[in-house]
Amino acid sequence: MPVGVYVHVPFCASRCDYCDFATWTDRAHVIDDYVDACIADVGRWRRVGLPAVDTVFFGGGTPSLLPPGRLEAILAAVPRAAGAEVTVECNPDALSPEQLASFRAAGVTRLSIGVQSFASHVLDALGRTHDPGNVRRAFAWARDAGFEHLNADLIYGTPGESAADWMATLDAVLALAPDHVSCYALTVESGTPLGRMVAAGARSAPDDDTQADRYAAADERLGAAGLSWYEISNWARPGGECRHNVGYWRGADYVAIGCASHGHVRGRRWWNVRTPERYVERITVGDSPEAGGEELGGGARRDEAWALELRTRWGASAAGLEPVALGELTAAGLVEHGGKRVVLTRRGRLLATDVTARLLAGRALALSRLEC
């Protein structure tokens, strides 16, 4: 299996109203020490046998907010296989032509740009700071720097977003010719500004039926434009799939670098301390930055791997599934199967959690009958 590295960059210029990630807007004084700690942490992993990795993913936060040369310094410390995919998440208003040229020269191969919407009032409702013009400039600069692999990250179902707004966003994104588009339903998390406003009745919560309609519209429009779904929230042109994320869905190993990042190696997963200060402290004194972890047993590991595969267009093995449950879900138009693999339909993707739970429960029942 391929091996990946995930690097969490927890710094932002401002915080979006819906965001509950481990990010901070008041930690600029920590950035240099944090980057040095990430480089040292990569060195720690190399000393215990980190191989040349197939993928590196810089997420956040806003990785493109790092000072010139600092992201490149982390990347330079990571051993990479020939042809490794290197992705950097970017905000459209935290990019420059010079920075993108530097990323490309350092070996970054792919950018994931946080577009979210092309409707200004939707961006305002999300607490985003960029405007559609920033997005168009960012894509143009990325092309000029030589990037071929570009993802547009979108959010649908924001209260106040009309069907026409969403279709206009999809059309505007397709006009930029990305080879990958990610679409996520807006979720309301407690503790965020949006969550507090919804709880107080000052804002409406997203409507499930509306979000389902937006998803179906995206699947139809993106598919017609040549971007096929390959995971519930992701569409790509052939060869444009994010290899790092495919590794997650296929159970690959990945190493966690940075605060609040998660890793997985041979059935053991762990997570690092949440704040950048604690991460720097741990690394500086030579301690592990892990905050906790767990070892997945054989059955739990198989079930998790199966559930992750079911999220993809390749589907999951139909072996061992309870025939009645599989037949009922097929008849309901939620899954398709050709004997060896079971794949979610568009409707099944909208109900993926429930479909997965039912199929796993049926498999457990079938296994228990065999054991008896």
Mean pLDDT of all residues in 335-361: 95
User: In angstroms, how far is the first alpha carbon of the chain from the final one?
Assistant: 35
Q: Give the model confidence (pLDDT) of 95-110 as tens digits.
A: 999 999 999 999 999 9
Is residue 360 included in any domain, yes or no?
yes
For residue 65, give the CATH number of its domain.
3.20.20.70
Task: Select from 228, 248, 268 the last residue of a domain.
Answer: 248
Domain count, the chain: 2
Is residue 199 domain-shared with residue 335, that is, in the same domain? no
Residue 166 placed within a domain: yes
pLDDT above 90: residue 371: no
Same domain (yes/no): 16, 133: yes
Whether 278 is in a domain gets the answer no
Which CATH number covers residue 367?
A: 1.10.10
The reply to whether 237 and 158 lie within a common domain is: yes
One domain for residues 203 and 333: no
Q: Is 22 in the same domain as 94?
A: yes
pLDDT of residue 17: 87
Tallying the residues shown for the chain, one arrives at 372
Q: pLDDT for 100-141, tens place per residue?
A: 999 999 999 999 999 999 999 999 999 999 999 999 999 999
Residue 254 inside a domain? The answer is: no
Residue 323 pLDDT > 70 = yes
In a domain? residue 269: no
Under 8 Å between Cβ of 186 and 236: no
Query: What is the C-alpha to C-alpha distance for residues 205 and 157, in angstroms, rounded to an integer?
Result: 9
pLDDT digits (tens, 9 = 90+) for 260-283: 999 999 889 999 999 999 999 999
Query: Are both 21 and 107 inside the same structural domain?
Result: yes
Query: Each residue of 73-93: pLDDT tens digit?
Result: 999 999 999 999 999 999 999
Question: Is 267 in contact with 304 (CB distance < 8 Å)?
Answer: no
Beta carbons within 10 angstroms of residue 104's beta carbon: 16
- pLDDT per residue over 128-180, tens digit each? 999 999 999 999 999 999 999 999 999 999 999 999 999 999 999 999 999 99
Final residue of a domain: which of 186, 217, 248?
248
Residue 173: how many other CB atoms lie within 10 Å: 26
User: pLDDT category, 368, cuts 50, 70, 90?
Assistant: low
Q: What pTM does this model have?
A: 0.95
Q: Is residue 19 part of a domain?
A: yes
SS3 state at 33: helix
- Domain residues for the domain of 22 are 3-248
Please count the other Cβ atoms lying within 10 Å of the Cβ belonging to residue 126: 20
Domain end marker among 217, 248, 279: 248
Q: In this structure, are 367 and 227 located in the same domain?
A: no
- Kindly state whether residues 38 and 177 are assigned to the same domain: yes
Report yes or no on 185 lying in a domain: yes
Q: Please provide the average confidence, as pLDDT, over all residues in the chain.
A: 95
- Is residue 369 predicted with pLDDT exceeding 70? no
